[in-house]
């Protein structure tokens, strides 16, 4: 291959690497958000469980409503957060693998470029 073709392929590989690094940053942000939602959902679920225990012990309607709402919202938030966490982890793994492949390709192409004297 001539030098111009290799230089063009190097610039394309560098662009792909930059895009993959941006995707990795986005996936890490999504993982942080999902982890935060998981924590909040778990706390709401815990409040619902405690309210349910209080309802069973004392039988007040306020705690029954609080238990129902807490269990429903906390359960939904926790479930959605777990799915988002799994998806974010898959995206991080895919981006990391892609970055490793792109760096290897870029290093191979840069090795083909002639050294300027």
> Is there a domain that residue 116 lies in?
no
Does residue 21 lie within any of the structural domains? yes
Asked if the structure places residue 67 within a domain, the reply is yes
Examine residue 68 and state whether it is found in any structural domain, yes or no. yes
Instruction: Output 89-95 pairs: Cβ under 8 A, ≥24 positions apart.
Output: 89/31, 91/23, 91/26, 91/27, 91/30, 92/24, 92/27, 92/28, 92/31, 95/20, 95/21, 95/23, 95/24, 95/27
User: Number of folded domains in the chain?
Assistant: 1
Please tell me whether the overall predicted TM-score, pTM, comes out greater than 0.85 for this model: no
Whether 116 has a pLDDT exceeding 80, the answer reads no
Whether residue 100 contacts residue 78, with contact meaning beta carbons closer than 8 Å, is answered with no
> Residue 108 pLDDT more than 90?
no
Q: Does some domain include residue 115? A: no
CA gap 13, 113 in Å, rounded? 14
Residue 80 lies in a domain: yes
Higher pLDDT, 14 or 29: 29
Q: Which domain holds residue 97?
A: 3-110
Residue 86's pLDDT band (cuts 50, 70, 90): very high
Residue-wise pLDDT for 40-74, tens only, equals 999 999 999 999 999 999 988 899 999 999 999 99
């Amino acid at each position: 291959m001539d030098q111009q073709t290799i230089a063009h392929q190097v610039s394309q590989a560098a662009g792909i690497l930059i895009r993959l690094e941006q995707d990795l940053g986005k996936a890490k942000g999504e993982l942080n958000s999902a982890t935060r939602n998981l924590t909040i959902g778990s706390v709401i679920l815990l409040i619902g469980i405690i309210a349910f225990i209080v309802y069973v012990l004392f039988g007040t309607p306020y705690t029954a409503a609080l238990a129902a709402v807490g269990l429903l919202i906390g359960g939904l938030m926790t479930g959605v957060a777990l799915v988002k966490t799994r998806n974010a982890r898959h995206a991080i793994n895919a981006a990391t693998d892609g970055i490793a492949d792109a760096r290897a390709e870029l290093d191979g192409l840069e090795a083909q470029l002639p050294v300027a004297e």
